Structure 1
Amino acid sequence: MAMLGVFISAVLFLGTAQGASLGAVLTEGGMVQGKSRSVGLFRYMDTFKGIPFAAPPKRFEKPVAHPGWEGVLKTTDYRKRCLQLNLLATDVIGSEDCLYLNIWVPQGRTVSSNLPVMVFIYGGAFLLGGGQGANFLDNYLYDGEEMADRGNVIVVTFNYRVGALGFMSTGDDGIPGNYGLWDQHAAISWVHRNIKAFGGNPDNITLFGESAGAASVNFQIITPKNKGMIRRAISQSGVALCPWAISRNPRQFAEEIATKVGCPIDSGMADCLKRADPKAVTLAGKLKLTSSPDAPIVHNLYLSPVIDGDFIPDEPETLFGNAADIDYIAGVNDMDAHIFATIDIPSINNALTTTPVEEVQALATALSRDRGQDAGIATFQEYTVNWGDKPNKEKVKQTVVELETDYMFLVPTQAALYLHTDNAKSARTFSYLFTESSRIPVFPLWMGADHADELQYVFGKPFATPLGYFPRHRDVSKYMIAYWSNFAQTGDPNKGESKVPVTWPEFSNPGHQYLDINNKMNKNNVKQMLRTRLVYYWTTVFASYPTVRN
Structure 2
Amino acid sequence: MLLKIVALAVVFLNGHICQQVNTPDGPILGTTEYSIAGTPYSSFYSIPYAKPPVGTLRFQAPQAVEPWTEVYNATTEQKRVCYQLYQDLPEETEDCLLLNVYVPQSNATDLPVMLFIHGGGFISGSGLNGGPQGFYRPNFWMDNNVILISINYRLGVFGFFSTGDEIIPGNNGLKDQVQAMKWVQRNIASFGGDPKKVLIFGQSAGSASVGWHLLSSSSTGLFRAAILQSGTPLCPWAYQRNQTTISYKTASLIDSQFNTSRDSNKLLEVLQSVDAKAIDDAALTFANWDSSQPSWAERKQLEQGFYFAPVVEVENNDSFVTGYPYVILENGNFNKIPIMIGTDADEGLMNLSEYLDSQLAAYDEAYSRMNPGNLHLVDAQDISEVGNAIKEEYSPNDTFLNNKLGAFEYFTEQDFTKSIVKHAELHSAEASTYFYEFSYSGEMGFNTYYRYPGSTNITHGEEMGYIFSTADPNNFSVADQLVHKRLLRLWINFATYLNPTPEVDELLQNITWPELKPGAFKFVNILSDLVVTAGTPKAKRIAFWDSLYEKYGIKPFDTY
**Shared fold per TM-score greater than 0.5:** yes
Greater displacement, 411-420 / 446-455 = 446-455
Deviation at 1:337, TM superposition (A): 2.2
Distance in 2 between residues matched to 1:432 and 1:450, nearest whole Å: 15
Q: Name the % identity.
A: 28
Q: Deviations over 1:187-239 (max 9, x none)?
A: 01111221111111111111100111101001112201122221100111110
Query: RMSD of the alignment, in Å?
Result: 3.0
Deviation at 1:408, TM superposition (A): 1.1
1:82-231 matched pairs, under 5 angstroms: 82-85=81-84, 87=86, 89=87, 93-108=91-106, 110=107, 112-132=108-128, 135=131, 140-149=134-143, 151-231=144-224
Q: Deviations over 1:279-301 (max 9, x none)?
A: 11112112244562454272472
Q: 1:446 to 1:156 in 2, by over 3 A?
A: same
Deviation at 1:366, TM superposition (A): 3.6
Q: 1:406 to 1:171 in 2, by over 3 A?
A: same
Q: 1:247 to 1:390 in 2, by over 3 A?
A: closer
- 1:506 maps to 515
Aligned residues of 1:55 and 1:67 also touching (Cα < 8 A): yes
- 1:6 maps to none
Aligned residues of 2:370 and 2:387 also touching (Cα < 8 A): no
- 1:328 maps to 339
Aligned residues of 1:51 and 1:102 also touching (Cα < 8 A): yes
Aligned residues of 1:92 and 1:283 also touching (Cα < 8 A): no
Distance in 1 between residues matched to 2:394 and 2:298, nearest whole Å: 25
Does the alignment pair 1:303 with 2:302? Answer: no
Q: Which runs of 5+ in 1 are unaligned?
A: 1-16, 349-354
Distance in 2 between residues matched to 1:319 and 1:493, nearest whole Å: 27
Of the three residues 4, 20, 24, the one matched with 2:20 is 24
Does the alignment pair 1:537 with 2:554? Answer: no
Q: Deviations over 1:161-181 (max 9, x none)?
A: 001011000111221111101
Of the three residues 392, 399, 402, the one matched with 2:406 is 399
- Give 2:237's aligned amino acid: W
Deviation at 1:391, TM superposition (A): 8.6
Of the three residues 381, 384, 390, the one matched with 2:392 is 384
Deviation at 1:84, TM superposition (A): 1.6
- 1:318 maps to 327
Q: Deviations over 1:299-333 (max 9, x none)?
A: 47210011113201211123343545311111111
Deviation at 1:522, TM superposition (A): 4.1
Distance in 1 between residues matched to 2:19 and 2:89, nearest whole Å: 40
- Give 2:295's aligned amino acid: S
Distance in 2 between residues matched to 1:503 and 1:497, nearest whole Å: 8
Distance in 2 between residues matched to 1:399 and 1:324, nearest whole Å: 37
Q: Which runs of 5+ in 2 are unaligned?
A: 1-11, 556-560
- 2:487 maps to 480
Aligned residues: 508
- 1:351 maps to none
SS at match of 2:226: strand
Deviation at 1:278, TM superposition (A): 1.1
- Give 1:454's aligned amino acid: E
Aligned residues of 2:18 and 2:31 also touching (Cα < 8 A): no
Distance in 1 between residues matched to 2:31 and 2:257, nearest whole Å: 50
Deviation at 1:135, TM superposition (A): 4.6
- 2:434 maps to 430
SS at match of 2:140: helix
Q: 1:295 to 1:38 in 2, by over 3 A?
A: closer
- Give 1:435's aligned amino acid: S
Distance in 2 between residues matched to 1:366 and 1:388, nearest whole Å: 15
Q: Deviations over 1:461-491 (max 9, x none)?
A: 5436x54x43332222111111111000111
- 2:8 maps to none
Distance in 2 between residues matched to 1:226 and 1:529, nearest whole Å: 29
1:287-298 matched pairs, under 5 angstroms: 287-288=287-288, 289=291, 292-293=295-296, 295-296=298-299, 298=302
TM-score (norm 2): 0.83
- Give 1:145's aligned amino acid: N
Deviation at 1:387, TM superposition (A): 5.2
Distance in 2 between residues matched to 1:167 and 1:542, nearest whole Å: 29
- 1:13 maps to none
TM-score (norm 1): 0.84
Deviation at 1:126, TM superposition (A): 0.7
Of the three residues 265, 274, 277, the one matched with 1:276 is 274
SS at match of 2:61: coil
Distance in 1 between residues matched to 2:534 and 2:371, nearest whole Å: 29
Aligned residues of 2:536 and 2:542 also touching (Cα < 8 A): no
- Give 1:101's aligned amino acid: L
- 1:337 maps to 348
Distance in 2 between residues matched to 1:325 and 1:196, nearest whole Å: 25
- 2:50 maps to 54
Distance in 1 between residues matched to 2:126 and 2:552, nearest whole Å: 40
Deviation at 1:456, TM superposition (A): 1.3
Aligned residues of 2:82 and 2:153 also touching (Cα < 8 A): no
- Give 1:340's aligned amino acid: N
- 1:8 maps to none
Greater displacement, 44-53 / 491-500 = 491-500
Distance in 1 between residues matched to 2:100 and 2:425, nearest whole Å: 34
Does the alignment pair 1:235 with 2:228? Answer: yes
Q: Deviations over 1:504-538 (max 9, x none)?
A: 221117630111113x1144x53422233433333
